[in-house]
Each structure stands twice: as structure tokens, then as C-alpha cells.
Amino acid sequence: MISTPRITTALPGPRAAALIARDRRVVSSSYTRSYPLVMARGWGSMVEDVDGNVFLDCAAGIAVNSTGHSHPLVVQAIVDQAHKFLHMSGTDFYYEPQVRLAEMLERITPMSGDVRTFFGNSGTEAIEASIKLARYATGRQNIIAFFGGFHGRTLGSLSLTASKAVQRRGFGPLMPGVYHAFYPDRYRPPLGSTAESCADACIDYIEHQLFTQLVSPDEVAAIVVEPIQGEGGYIVAPEAFLQRLRELTRKHGILLVVDEVQSGMGRSGRMFAIEHTGVEPDVVATAKGIASGMPLGVAMARADIMTWPPGAHASTFGGNPVSCAAAIATIELLQDQLIANATSVGAHLIDGLRAVAEKHPLVGDVRGRGLMIGVELVRDRVTKERATKERDAVVNAAFQRGLLVLGAGKNAVRFSPPLVLTREQADEAVGIFDEALNEVERSV
Ligand SMILES: Cc1ncc(COP(=O)(O)O)c(C=O)c1O
């Protein structure tokens, strides 16, 4: 089991090319494949393709394989549960893995007091549940989300998503009663603010413009926010912003829903990224890393909020016992050492990327927490013109050298590796990224 990349064919290799040709004919054309990776198997932070090429994975299936590919303890938990039973719909019957996982989630969720969990299969379902719960619990209809936010692609969550127009184009009319506010991006401060004042400016906009000109706060059910915007470009909100958002929502009886689908489950160096701020939300939605790759999405809420009656909301597959077993094993691994690893290797990786950034004018900003790191590429450090084509070229050049990364936002590269990444692998990733930047800078 090697732990460094090894590329032995042109990419895509012959087997990969053949499979991609078959895929093109029968699989939905809506998928965004950045480069032609055809996976055969994976271990830890490594991925092997069907032609025997080995890659270092800093994408983790879009921030999902938190414990690495096929961690033996997660696989064991899945196999053990699969031998017992695969499904019995936890919405209509009872089984231990679902209850045990809900008890664990109550302990790890950054909300004091009793917590209840709704089980779905994906991030978007966790958000749909949060939206419905917020409307039901408050008796109010409107929701505030943020520009740059990504919350999923089903019609409710899509109505909150304001990341790329192509994700919404052709699907209207979307859910009414959704308002978008500005996200405090310190690198690109909105509303004429500065890096220091953007948190206040973004809150002031909600309080003094949205609430006075567009929607009365007593008709707002929830504000839904990512503590670190994921698809938007790995943008870390200032702590003061989330703290002021909490004050504002509390003042008006609005629920604060944190979307931790991408930032949750240890990736930021805390179980949930909101913990970096000391803010206690009312609802936490998470998915992706929760079950190491098995489908699971959860909405956790204060028990006094989640009081909807039987039949109000449910999903046949939600809380599938095999996914629950995988989640229990995942959380144990996260608590044992992987969250700590995300903190220490994440700090090492960000230092390495910042050192590389000094050599490359294409890099405008390196930011993140734990192993959730974004590198924003610009054509000019002063004008901050977005280097979108160059970003795509860097992602592809990294792939050609055996490093898997993904884009985020219009012009950032995201590093979201499995949380088992070692310091040596982080160094390897930095080295390849450096070469990829060299190649693209030479060509422009
Ligand atoms: C913050 C956030 N919320 C929600 C979602 C939707 O999750 P899913 O693709 O599992 O539906 C995503 C997916 O990228 C996400 O990053």
C-alpha cells in the first residue's frame, strides 16, 4: 500500500477512457467532472484508478471520506451491520444503531440541553428538514441565506443556494420567501467594507436594510448560514459575524440554522466549525463526512424545537442502519484522533501552502481551518481579478501529477483531504501544487 502518487500512463489511461465513453452515453449530463479520474479502489488518503495510477487524494469525494478510504473499522462496522439487516425504515420501526447514533449526536452537537435528530440521506435532505422544521416551529415563512452559499439542489435547498447561476437556471420558480444577504468575505469585503469591518457591515445590512425595507424580522423563520462557505470558495466567516448573527436572531425569535454539511464532522479541527466561535445554534445540519462515504444527512435541533407530530416529516431510507453503523464508527475515530490530526496536519498544510503562495503571483489568498483550506487564484494581486481559467488549469495540472484537488467558487482551489492525511502527505501535496502553479504560470 504505497502512500505517495505514482502515475504510469497518460491520463486518462486506456481503461479510464473506455469507461468515460460508456458513462457519457448513459449517465446524466448534469454532473461536473473536473478531470477524468476513474476510481478502482482507495486506502487512507490514496486512490488508485482503473489503469493502476495512484493519486494523493485532497478531494475526498467532495469532503466526504473523513476517515480515509475504506477505513478498516468503518468497513467492519458496515459488514457487521449488513450481516444483521440492511433496512427496516427507522421512521416506522425502531433499531439500535439509529438510537445510539442520535444519542452520540446529542453529546457532540454544540447545543446545550436536549437535542433530537432527524435522519435523511444527504446534505440537501438535512437542509430541507431544517427549512421545514423552522417554518413549522416558528409559524413563520421567510428564510434568510447568503450570497455564495451552497445548501443543495432540491427545490427548497436550491432556493437558498446562491453559489452559481447555472445551479438555479431553468428551475424556477423556486421557493418563495427567501432573501439573500452578504457573506463577510475578508478577502473580498462586500458593501464597501474592509476586512476588519465586513462582519459588522453584513449584519448591519440585514438589520437596517433587509429588516426595514424587505421583510419584517417577526416573519423570518430562520437564518441559514455556513460557518465556512464550502462551494462558495472555502471562505471563513469572522467569529464576530456569527456571534452578532446569534444576537440578532435571538432578539427577533429567529432560528439560527448552521449548515455544517461540508464544514462539520471534524474537518475544521473541531467537530463542528461553529464551535470555533462559541455560538450555540438552534439547528445543525450535517452530512458528507458523517458516515465516511455512506449516505446519511442529519438535522439536529434543540428538543423544544423539534416537536413536530408523527407524519410531519420522514424519509424511507433516512437513518439506514448500515449508514448509522458507519457513522458511529466514524465519530469514534474522529474523537479518538482524527479531529486532532485535522488541526495539526491542517496547520502544517496551510503553512506549506502559504510558503508556496509567496513564490506565485497567481495566488491571492490562502485561508481555512483544519483540513478545510482554500487557495484563491487571481490574475493580479492588486485588482484581485479572478483567475478562473488558470484555476481550472492548476486543478488539472495537479491531477496530471497525481494530486486530486477540486475547485471551489469561481477561482479557488480547495484542499479537503481525508482527515487521516499525514504531514508527509501534506508536504507531497504542497510540492505537487507548487509544480502545478509553475506550469500554469509559465503558460500564461
Ligand atoms: C454546505 C453544503 N450544504 C449542503 C450541501 C448539499 O449536500 P448533498 O450534495 O449531499 O445534497 C452541500 C454539498 O456540497 C454543501 O457543501
Cα 124 to averaged position of ligand 1 atoms, centre (Å): 6
Other CB atoms within 10 Å distance of the CB of residue 207: 16
Q: How far apart are the first and last CA of the chain?
A: 38
Given this model, what pLDDT does residue 42 score? 98
Ligand 1 pocket residue status of 265, Cβ below 6 Å: no
Cα 290 to averaged position of ligand 1 atoms, centre (Å): 12
- Per the structure block, which three cell numbers stand in for 35? 478531470
DSSP characters for 238-302? PHHHHHHHHHHHHHHT-EEEEE-TTTTTTTTSSSSGGGGGT---SEEEE-GGGGBTB--EEEEEE
Given this model, what pLDDT does residue 377 score? 98
Residue whose CA lies nearest to ligand 1 atom number 4: 151
CA atoms within 13 A on the CB side of 48: 12
Cα 123 to averaged position of ligand 1 atoms, centre (Å): 5
CA angle 292, 82, 67 (to 5 degrees): 15
DSSP characters for 328-378? HHHHHHIIIIIHHHHHHHHHHHHHHHHHHHHH-TTEEEEEEETTEEEEEEB
Contact between 115 and 109 (Cβ < 8 Å): yes
Question: Of all helices (H) and strands (E), which one includes residue 74?
Answer: helix 72-84
**Residue ranges in the chain modelled with pLDDT below 50:** none
Contact between 214 and 165 (Cβ < 8 Å): no
Inter-CA distances, 73 with 329, 332, 385, 421, Å = 7, 10, 46, 17
Contact between 54 and 5 (Cβ < 8 Å): yes
How far is it, in rounded angstroms, from Cα 56 to Cα 16? 18
Ligand 1 pocket residue status of 128, Cβ below 6 Å: no
Residue for grid cell 432556493: 159
Coil, helix or strand for 110? Answer: coil
Contact between 234 and 414 (Cβ < 8 Å): yes
How far is it, in rounded angstroms, from Cα 259 to Cα 299? 9
How far is it, in rounded angstroms, from Cα 313 to Cα 299? 12
Coil, helix or strand for 304? Answer: coil
- Per the structure block, which three cell numbers stand in for 371? 483540513
Residue among 122, 131, 151 to mutate when testing ligand 1 (max atoms within 8 A of CB): 151
Nearest residue to 123 via CA among 230, 28, 47: 230
- Per the structure block, which three cell numbers stand in for 56? 494523493
Given this model, what pLDDT does residue 1 score? 83
Ligand 1 pocket residue status of 150, Cβ below 6 Å: yes
Beta strands in 17-113 (DSSP E): 39-43, 46-49, 54-57
Per residue in 379-422, pLDDT tens? 999 999 999 999 999 999 999 999 999 999 999 999 999 999 99
Tell me the residue length of the chain: 444
Nearest residue to 58 via CA among 272, 267, 261, 237: 267
How far is it, in rounded angstroms, from Cα 205 to Cα 213? 10
Given this model, what pLDDT does residue 444 score? 83
Given this model, what pLDDT does residue 278 score? 98
Residue among 283, 288, 290, 292 to mutate when testing ligand 1 (max atoms within 8 A of CB): 288
Cα 263 to averaged position of ligand 1 atoms, centre (Å): 10
pTM above 0.85, yes or no: yes
Cα 295 to averaged position of ligand 1 atoms, centre (Å): 12
Contact between 342 and 330 (Cβ < 8 Å): no
